[in-house]
Structures are given as C-alpha cells and as structure tokens.
Chain A
Amino acid sequence: MAEWFQDNGLLLGLALLDGLSSAGLIFLVAVGLNLVFGVLRIINVAHGSLYAIGAYSAASIGIFLSGRGLPDWASIPTLILSAALVGAILGPIIERLLLRRIYAQEEVVQLLVTFALFMILEDVQKLLWGVQPIHHDTAMRWLGTIDVPFGADFIPFTNYQLFVLPGIAIVTLVGLAWFLRRTLTGRVIVAVTTDREAATAMGIDAAKVFLLTFTFGAMLAALGGALSSPTAALVPGIGAQTIVLSFAVVATAGLGQIEGAALTSLMMGLGRSIAVYFEPELEVVVPYIIMVLVLLVRPQGLFGVIETRRV
C-alpha cells in the first residue's frame, strides 16, 4: 500500500484537484434537486434540462455580449446572471403551469410528467441551439492557469476549475445553510419540508413556498450548467448525464441534508476523477457503484433519516 502511494501519490493528488471542480458542479445541481424534492415531493427529471438550458443560455449570452465589447472580467458575473435569469423565467412557468396540477397525483404520474417535460425541453434546446457544439470559454481563459508541481515538472490547471467552481459551490453551501437555518423564509421552507400539513395549519402559504423553492432550485440547476459552460463544448445530451448523476447524489446522501449532498458530491466527483487517472473505463460507473454500496448498507442514504408515516 505504502509502495503504491509512493508510486502514484502525485497522480492521486492531481486526480483530487481535478475532482474538486467536478464535485462543485455536481453539488450545485444535486442540492437544487434535493431542495425541490424535499419541499414539493416531486422527482423533477426536467432538472437536467434546466442545467442544459442554463449552460446553453450562458454560452449564448456570453458570445452575444463579448461580440459587443463586454470586458473579459465581466464574463463570470454574466454566467451567474444568465443562470438567475433562466431560473427566474422557467422556474415559475414550470411550477405554475405544470407542477401545480400534479401535486395531488400519484408519484408515477409526477415522474412521467416531468420526464415528458424533460423530453420536450431537450427538443426545444435542439430547436434553439441546434446540434452543433457551442463553446464560450472567456471566463476560464481570462482567469488563466496555475502551475501545479508534479514531481520535477509542473502541470497547468485552470484557476477557474481549481478555485472558481469549488469556491462558488462552497459559497452556495454556506449561504444555503445560513438561509435555511437563520432566516424566517428558510425556516418556513424547512417547516413545509418537515410537515406540510402542520405548516398549512399555521396559515403558511404552501403554494408560495413551492413556487419560491422550485424557482430557486431551477436557478441552482441553471447555475451548474452556466458554470460548466466555459469548461467544455456544449452538446445535446448534457442534461441527461447530469440528471442521472444528480439522482445518484440525492439517493446516496439522503433527503434534506445539504451538507450531506455536498459531501456526497465530493465523493462522486473525486471518485470519478480518480477513476479517470487510474481506471478510465470505470469513470462512468464509479458514482453508481458508490450509490449501490451506500444504499445496500443504509437504504435511507448516508445522511437521511427513516421517516415514519403518520396515521
């Protein structure tokens, strides 16, 4: 074992650095999905579409504004604002026009409806942006690279992936934890998550909480997409990949634990990254192996609690 570390320690270090940015993106999307499921009790398959549309919109807006002289430094705030815009427009439309009609339906109907929405949005995305790859990496290029020592050599890492993505994920984690625990609105959201019936008995406007939470969850999905857009060319199908991975995170972490979602995202991100360096053919399945192993031991997830049903 010690010998293995001696031979592969540096490589492992690089894998961990790579995994951080991946974990940050996974966390942003998964925590939104977790929040929406916790409050609305709907498994929103279309969360992946919001990620994809967030990515495409951010790239398009970035390309458009760069062509009109937007300074390079402004490309990072543009990514965040684009995501907020996508969430603020699509979130209320989807919640009001579609989800509100199916809250009382069986889970299988809810799943089918959001899956249908996912399929529709995938095609809308192809109609709007076509199937050719889109790439806009000004934000990443502007921040440059940092040389990470690798034995006698140096390996360049982009500052964007090494600092910005994990940084925004950490700010989101801390901000969300503060918001949910310290503010009245956050406490109301937690109350509706814990016991919708009791919250309604207090006169809490559950419909407003649903709208607010879904919109916020949509913004987080779009933010994940927007922040990923400078790192890779956007192609159709990114939404499907993301939603499946996010489900794995939520299932592994358990419901309602944002710190749990963060830690699980880190496990998944690092797991994938280590696989890329050491066993590349396992990259895709590593998150699901982690999920299966965890659920075999703790069916409620790493941080979830078993809920007893009131009668």
Chain B
Amino acid sequence: MSDVLLQATGLRLAFGGVKAADGIDLGVMKGEFLAIIGPNGAGKTTFINMSTGYLRPNAGEITYEGSRITGLSPRAIVKRGIARSFQLPQLFAEHTVEQNIALAVASRDGIWSPLTPLLRPGYRDEARDLLDRFGLSAIAHARADALNEGARKLADIAMAVALKPRLLLMDEPTSGVAASEKMGVVETLARVLRDAQVTAVFVEHDMDVVERFADRVAVWSQGRIAALGPPQQVLSDPAVQRDVIGIERHA
C-alpha cells in the first residue's frame, strides 16, 4: 500500500437530496495519471473539492501519504504538496503570464519583505523556466485575459506546477480548448508532469484524451465509482459505454 499517494475512504457528501459522494473508496497511486469520467453532476468536481479542502465530506476521510487531510484548509493542503486547477482557468487577468507564474512561485516560498518586487530574479528565472517547459515563452508578456483558451489552460496549470506539488488535481483541463489544440495541450501537459514526477488526477469528458493519457479511469456515477481500471478495459465495458460514454457523446 506504500504506492498509494491519496486514499479516500467511505467519502459521503450530499447537497440537499443529491448525493455527490455516496461511499467513495478510491486510491490514487504514486506516479499515475488517473482520469475521472462521468456525467455532469455525478460528483467528479466534488471529489477534487473535497481532496483540496474546499468542501468537507459529511462522512469518511481522505489521507495523503498516510496522513489525514480531511478538514484541513485549502492552503494547508497546498503546503503538503497537493495543487489543483479549476475548470475555468483562474489566472489573474491584470497580470502578464510571467507575472502570474512568478506570483505562484512566490506564494510557494511564502516569505518576502513588503517591498520585494514581483519579478525579482529568483522568481522571474523560475517562472521563465516553467514557461519554457510549457511552451509558453512566446506569450510570457501577454496579459492573461488576452490568451486563447488552450494557452490559458496551460498557464493555469503551469501556476499549479509552480507550487511543486507531488499530486495535481485538474478539473477538465481540456474543456473549452479548440479540438485542433486539444491533443497538443494534453501532450505538453503530460510531458511536463511526467518530467516533474507529478501524480495527476483529471476530470475529463473527452474519451480520446482519456484513452491516450490516462493510466487508469474511474467512472463516477451518482456519487459512486461504477468502474475502475485501465482505459481499454473500462471504456470497452458495455455498461460504461451505455450509461456514461453514451451520455458523454450526447452531452
């Protein structure tokens, strides 16, 4: 069990009558890319929110590297090495891409004097290195609100990677990205995360992306995990095809 990085046990959370998590047991293995698929409203984002401290489960617990993290604040969880990205990229619009990344680098360090400049050499160099790895150097000085969706997604995830997480949870990293850009975005993402030895969990609706990049797939349905395993096995399961992929294709 030492290969388990994050373990959810008996997670339950309901919003009114809707069960977003109804007894979830799920382990995320070190180094893997785990895709979570399922219809909208099934509870996929809720799992990310519970794992990162934005929501507290009604019951059950989540452990990270063997320590309980349920109930910790989002900031405390980030400090332990779990970062996240949101479905809508949360870039700071008034900042350039480079400033956004530098801000993430600085917030990871956490200590600075009140008059420290944002782009002091250490932060700037690290930001530039990350931009280079994500293939974003050409737009380093562009304002965040002027980017196309693919670049916004990558910049948003670059900010999360700047926090040097060991586990990264991404909520629909390809949603809104043009079909022609999608595979390029995911390939860049996968390469950077594998190089940095970051374990990744990502909620995804595009089955081509899942099939190509996920090591395992968890199918979330009505607050439960309906299937879990390698993509080829899970995605070819007739029940999954009927109940989930069919819905995805018509969503």
* B-binding residues in A (CB < 8 A): 179, 182-188, 190-191, 194-195, 197-206, 310
Q: Does B103 contact A (CB under 8 A)?
A: yes
B117 and A201 contact, CB distance less than 8 A: no
Q: Which one of B84-92, B201-209, B215-223, B225-233 is at the interface?
A: B84-92
The verdict on A187 contacting B108 (CB below 8 Å), with A203-B75, A310-B88 known, is no
Task: Give the contacts of B81-105 with A (CB-CB under 8 A).
Answer: 83-84, 86, 88, 90-95, 99, 103-104
Q: Output the nearest chain A residue to B78 by Cβ-Cβ distance.
A: A203
Complex Cα spacing A193 to B86, Å:
18
Q: Does B15 contact A (CB under 8 A)?
A: no
B114 and A194 contact, CB distance less than 8 A: no
B92 and A194 contact, CB distance less than 8 A: yes
A201 and B78 contact, CB distance less than 8 A: yes
Q: Does B191 contact A (CB under 8 A)?
A: no
Q: Does B236 contact A (CB under 8 A)?
A: no
B114 and A203 contact, CB distance less than 8 A: no
**CB-defined A-B contacts under 8 Å, sample of 27:** A182-B117, A183-B117, A184-B112, A184-B118, A185-B112, A188-B106, A190-B94, A194-B93, A194-B94, A195-B90, A197-B54, A198-B86, A198-B90, A198-B91, A198-B92, A200-B74, A201-B84, A201-B86, A201-B90, A201-B160, A202-B103, A202-B104, A202-B159, A202-B160, A203-B110, A203-B163, A205-B110
Other than the given A200-B75, A206-B75, 7 more pairs (CB < 8 A) read A183-B115, A187-B99, A195-B90, A201-B78, A201-B86, A203-B79, A205-B110
Closest chain B CB from A291 CB (angstroms): 26
Q: Does B52 contact A (CB under 8 A)?
A: yes
Q: Which 9 A-B pairs have the closest CB atoms?
A: A198-B90, A203-B78, A202-B107, A184-B116, A204-B107, A184-B118, A200-B74, A187-B118, A185-B114
Complex Cα spacing A134 to B215, Å:
75
Closest chain B CB from A13 CB (angstroms): 38
The verdict on A203 contacting B93 (CB below 8 Å), with A182-B118, A310-B88 known, is no
Complex Cα spacing A148 to B197, Å:
72
Contact with A along B59-88 (1 / 0, CB 8 A): 000000000000001110011000110101
Interface residues on B, range: 35 or more
Q: Does B242 contact A (CB under 8 A)?
A: no
Q: Does B120 contact A (CB under 8 A)?
A: yes
Q: Output the nearest chain A residue to B52 by Cβ-Cβ distance.
A: A201
Complex Cα spacing A195 to B52, Å:
17
Which A residues touch B110, using CB under 8 A?
203, 205
A204 and B114 contact, CB distance less than 8 A: no
Closest chain B CB from A300 CB (angstroms): 16
B118 and A191 contact, CB distance less than 8 A: no
Which A residues touch B163, using CB under 8 A?
202-203
Closest chain B CB from A51 CB (angstroms): 24
Instruction: Say which residue of A185, A187, A197 sits within 8 Å of B95 (CB atoms).
Output: A187
A188 and B88 contact, CB distance less than 8 A: no
Which A residues touch B83, using CB under 8 A?
201
Which A residues touch B95, using CB under 8 A?
187, 191
Complex Cα spacing A240 to B94, Å:
35
Which B residues touch A206, using CB under 8 A?
75
Which A residues touch B114, using CB under 8 A?
183, 185
B75 and A184 contact, CB distance less than 8 A: no
Which residue of A179, A195, A202, A310 has the most chain B CB atoms within 10 A of its CB atom? A202
Which A residues touch B90, using CB under 8 A?
195, 197-198, 201
Closest chain A CB from B55 CB (angstroms): 12
Which B residues touch A186, using CB under 8 A?
118
Which A residues touch B93, using CB under 8 A?
194
Task: Give the contacts of B30-76 with A (CB-CB under 8 A).
Answer: 52, 54, 73-75
A183 and B94 contact, CB distance less than 8 A: no
Instruction: Say which residue of B92, B107, B117, B123 sits within 8 Å of A203 (CB atoms).
Output: B107
Which A residues touch B123, using CB under 8 A?
184
B86 and A191 contact, CB distance less than 8 A: no
Closest chain B CB from A58 CB (angstroms): 24
B74 and A185 contact, CB distance less than 8 A: no
Complex Cα spacing A188 to B115, Å:
12
Which A residues touch B112, using CB under 8 A?
184-185
Complex Cα spacing A265 to B84, Å:
41
Closest chain B CB from A174 CB (angstroms): 15
Complex Cα spacing A205 to B106, Å:
12
